[in-house]
Structures are given as structure tokens and as C-alpha cells.
A and B are shown apart, each in its own frame.
Chain A
Amino acid sequence: MTDFWFQFLLALDSTLRVATPLIFCAMAGIFSERSGIIDISLEGKMLMAAFVAAAVAYGTGSPWIGAFAAITVSIIASLIHGFACIIHRGNQVISGLAINILASGLTVIIGIALFRQGGQTPTLPKTSRFNSLELPLADVFEKNIPILGVIYKELISGHNILVWAAIISVGITYYILFKTTFGLRLRAVGEKPEAIDSAGISVTKMRFQAIIIAGILCGLAGVYLSTATGAGFVKEMTAGKGYIALAAMIFGKWRPVPALFACLLFGFLEAVAARVQGVEIMLIGEISSDLLIALPYLLTVILLAGFIGGVTPPRAIGQPYIKER
């Protein structure tokens, strides 16, 4: 039993690690989509940022400069998305898709041109990464306080700064969206842009601000992948995480806190999937981790179809705003 308990604790711990990029991207998606811009390019922005973070951190030796560069590039990708679908009123899904495919190609081409390692960056030394922080007294607590001490050591302590940043970003997103004038306007622009326009506020400007914030958050997700959990960039390292985050955002009904729980749930499923391969469970039989991985997508489809409560996306989502003359 104690062994099961310990395994469970470790699964929760890896849940947090797996969920971190999902949380960043889900918050990015919320900002973008609440303002009325569909963003399926979370994946591509995260991939570009992951590459730039690793490449610059390798070149400069500083993860912070890497992170800064990565966020900049992710914002640029956001601006391309905005240029296409806010200014030129292009199709938002097509634009997002273009950015995703572009990211897959560009990261590898530039990676090969710079490092000649088949599209990877060289492995980053510990000093060029965001390392995990052992919280004070973790070992003392583990020995002296039963249960809570172990939880403190295994679950709370030993994460890198970006894990905490991800969780804090949920609070910030909530605060900005629901407690500030900016947030009110941002939500209004995604529901009824003409109302915001007649109030004398620029719809274009609001939407650009929203997607720039989305760019920053996707950038952080990429930084986390290549310079915090990973030690360098690997081809296609985002591996569909952007899409899972998109699913989590929808699963959380475009709201920050429910989306956080959706990310944790999906992260937990992935963490479990890595552990249960071949494990027999009573009545169900052997669980297939291959199928478990598809569960987030399946749950999202079921939710969207309205089988578990209704979902209402922002009303003006996907529609370019045409100012009346």
C-alpha cells in the first residue's frame, strides 16, 4: 500500500511536469479565443519558441536570454497570425495551420544550418537551463513529518521556476480577464465586437493585444520544453501538446481555472499512461497506454458534442470584424 501511495505521489508529480506547457498554452488560447481569434497555432508558436530558447541559450550560455528571444519569436508568429486574420481578414484556421507547418519546417532547417546535428540543438549544460529548485528543509521534513513531509519533498519541492510560473499564470489570466477593464473589453470583443467599436475602442488593437499575450504564453511553454524539462531542442518536440492544450481550453469552457484542471487531468492521463503499460486491472483487463493517450481527445469530442453539459464558445469567434461605414 505504501508503495502504491508513493507511486501515486510520483504520478502526481509528473502530472505537474507534463501539464506545465499545457497550462501556458491553454491560457494563451483563452486570451486569443476570448478576443475572437481562433488559435490552432499554439503548437507552432511553442515549437518555434522551444527551438529559439535552446539555440540562444546554447549560444549565450544564459537561459534567460534564450527565454527572452523565444518569447520575441513567438510574439512575431502571433503578429503574422494577426496580420493575416485581423488586418487581411483571412481564415483564422488556415492561418494557424500555416504557422504550425511553417514551424515544423523552419525549426529543422535553421537547426541544421546552425548546428549540423540533424535538426537538433546541442545538449545544453546545466548552467544554460532552468534547473529544479529544491525548497528549503525538504529532506528534514521528509524524515520528521509523516505523509506531509513526503508530499512536500516529492510533489511541492524540486520543480523549476517555470512550473510555478505556469500555475501563477492561471491566476493572472483570471484576474486580467474578469477583474480589469481591459479584460472586460477583451471578452466583449470576442462576443460582440460592434459594441466595443461603438464605445470608441479599436477592435483591431484589442485583438492584437490579446494575441500578443498569447504569443508570450506560448513562448514560455516552448522555453519550458527545451530549456527546463529538456536539455535542448529535438525535432517536433511539441508532439501535439499544443492541440491537447487546445482541447483542455475547450474542456475548461474557455475559462482559466476549469482549463487548469483540464490540463492537470490530461497531464495525469499522460503520466498514468507512461506507467500502466501491461498492468492488469480487475474487471477491465490490461490497459492499453496507446488508447489512454487518445482519451483527452475523445473526452473533448464528447464534451463538445454536448453530452456532458453545454459548451458555448465566444460568440464572435472566427469572424473577422468589418467596421461599418
Chain B
Amino acid sequence: MNRKGLSIFSALLLSLVLVLSACSGGGNSSEPATTSDDTKTAGEDIENATELSFWTFAGTHADFYVNAAERWNEQHKDKPIKLKVENYPFDQMHNNLLMALQSGSGAPDLVDIELAKFPNFLKGDIQLEPLNDLIEPELDKFTERINIYQKDGNFYGAPTHLGASVVYYNTEIMDQAGVDIDSIITWDDYVEAGKKVVEATGKPMTTIATNWYGIWPYVAQRGSDFFDENGKITLDSEKNIETLEFINDMVNKHKIAELTPGGNYHTEEFYGAMNQGSQASLVIPMYYMKDFTTYMPDLKGKMQIRPMPKWSDSDYQSVTMGGTGTAVTNQSEHVELAKEFLYFAKLSKEGNIQLWKELGFDPPRWDVWEDPQMREDNVFYQYFHDDIFDILLDIRENIAPIQLNEFTPDILTEIDSNVMHSVLREQNLTPEEALKQSADTVRQKAGE
């Protein structure tokens, strides 16, 4: 190529890159975009429909609300809505919402707020609308879960699922090791079974996430938590230290557990490994069924759901984990309509049944668990087994709640970035040292 040709070629190449990077600019999460890439609308063709905007961070949720809006419009011809659901990346959506609520403009009518982020929105003058008039008449129908999105007696979020934690056993591996999963009653049994699994198959019994999923379920199941009922930080309590020691022993002493590939249970690395049958069991909430059916097709028919093994000093067999609270913001011009729709979509009996049918979530209203509609065949029953809700009904009284507080996000950040890493991976701090250090950091912030 001569010099001129080369220059032209280079110029072309440069402009191509410019164009390409301009195209990708929309997905740049470090710059807050004003419009979302992914918008779904329901009721667009209905005249004089009231427009409601909705922000979410999960594509599956977006479909769920669009479907709900279409059902609403069929049943409520007198007050149709045009629901515009915008799907943003997780961090971006929560940050944009904080800014919008702080500055007093730009927030949507309805919004999904993730559990670990929710306390951020309950500070100062709360910019969300209380949902008491929707929830209080039927309070006894809801599981305890409804309480995590409340402050000072006001309910601000509609739960998406109960999030009961269970153990998913890979029966192929368990059979190979000759372990009957119904014989695993306590965590000590679980460790013993794990030793057999490792010996027979060379695969770990489980993997421990190095974020809060690797400690919170175990701690809460023991009846402990990171805060007491007065909001005092108990991250470094005796029980929590013992629990982390137990987890550390599973990984570093008994060698029956490894650290999760990718660091948590929602990464491509983990989906791939789990799908190939790389571990015998997984402790995670019920909502993970959707992940199984979507990302791990090869495990169909091999997975069995059981309650969590018990601790010797607690009766709890499960614990509610994860979650998303849907809220109505005070910037909405149609607060009442937004609330009515929210009730229809998520809080009503029908809405709860749809949560199971469409998303595979264990509904937060326990009064639907026995409903015949819940027993209709679907992908989740085909993938797992028929008695999923019988297991839930069995342990209904023994599902541990969790305590949320203004400083929960700080505690979870400490756990994600310091505790799990230094105790399990680096092993340069004992569970006691790590928890004490992190508890002190958050205490300093809380001014305790």
C-alpha cells in the first residue's frame, strides 16, 4: 500500500471506531442516560389512557408489569392506563432514582427498588408514598416479608416474593456419593454428607459466595442478624462469629465447599459451572428457580428442593432473602391510580398467582400457596418437582425474617468488600477479627 492509500485506510478505520463507540455510548453506565435502551409499553393504542411511568432493573419484571397493565386495561375500561416500563442497569437505575428524588423532579410514577438499596430511600423526608391503605386490610394474609419495606409503621414497598431460602440438591451427584438428601437434617449432617460427596466425586458439596449471600442466610437462620430490634449493630455478635467460623470451616478446614466462581451466584462463570454439575448443592432463595430454568437447562429433572438444614440452637428451616420492593413516588401526578394498579399487579391474590406463574417467585401472600391455580403445571414444575409449595407450607412457621435498617447498605458493602474476602479467600483475618473490624467501621459512621 502506498503512503496515501495507507492514510486513507487509517482515516477510515478511525472513523469506523468513532461511529462504533458512539453507538455503544448508550450503554455506558458511567454516564447517566436520560432515556433507557429498553422500553416496553402497554395500552399504547387506548385513547385517553392515563400515562404511568415505571422504572425497573430486571427485564423479566418489565414483561411482568406490561402483562399486568394489559390485564388491567381489560378489566378497567373506565380508567385505562398507558404503562411505560423502562429497564435500566441495576446501579444506574438506583442512582438516577436517588438523584431524581433528592432534586424533586424526574422520578417515575412507580419504581422497583432492590432490598439492599431500599434503606437509602427511607432517609430524610421519605419521597415514597405510604401503601398502608392497600396493605393493612389484608395484613394477616401476607408473610412477614411485608415488613421489610416499612418505616415507623408506614409500608412503602410492595414485595415481589417471599424469597424463602432453600437448598437445591443435584441428585445425580448426591446419588453418586450415596447420600440420601432427606437424611440431611442438621448442618452437621450437611458437612458429613459433604465429606462423602467430596470423597466419592471430587466435587464440592457447595460453593460459598464472597458477597453477603455467603453469610446472611446462615446468620439469619440462626435467629441472629446484623442489627438487633433497637437498630444497634450486632454484626460482630457471638452467634455471627460462630456462624462465619462454621462457613470458614466448610471451606478451609473440611474442604467440602469452595468459593463461588465469579464471586457470586449471578455471574456467567457460575451459571456455566453449575450447569455442568460442578457442585452437589446450592443454598439460595426460591426465586432462583427462574435462573435455573433460564441459564441451566442441563440440570432439568436433576434438581431437588429441600428446606435448609437446621442449626442446633434454632428451629428455623429457611430465611427470607433478596427481594425487590415496588414503590410509588411522591412525584407521581396520579398517586391513587398508581397505587390501585400496584395493588392489582402485585398485592392482590391474582397478582400473587401471576408472580408464580410468570416469574417462578414464591408469592409473598401465603393464602395463595394452596390455591388450585398455583398447582397448574408450568415450566418450574416440569424442571423441578410437584411438591414445591407443600415444602413451603410445611415450614411456614419456621421461616426467619431479616432486619433492615438505615445502615444495612453499609454493612453489606463491608461484607462484600472486606469480611468474606479476608476471611475465606485471603485467610489473613479470623472471622472474629474481620467482623469486629467491619462492625466498628459502620459504628463510626452510625455514630454509635
- B is bound to A: no
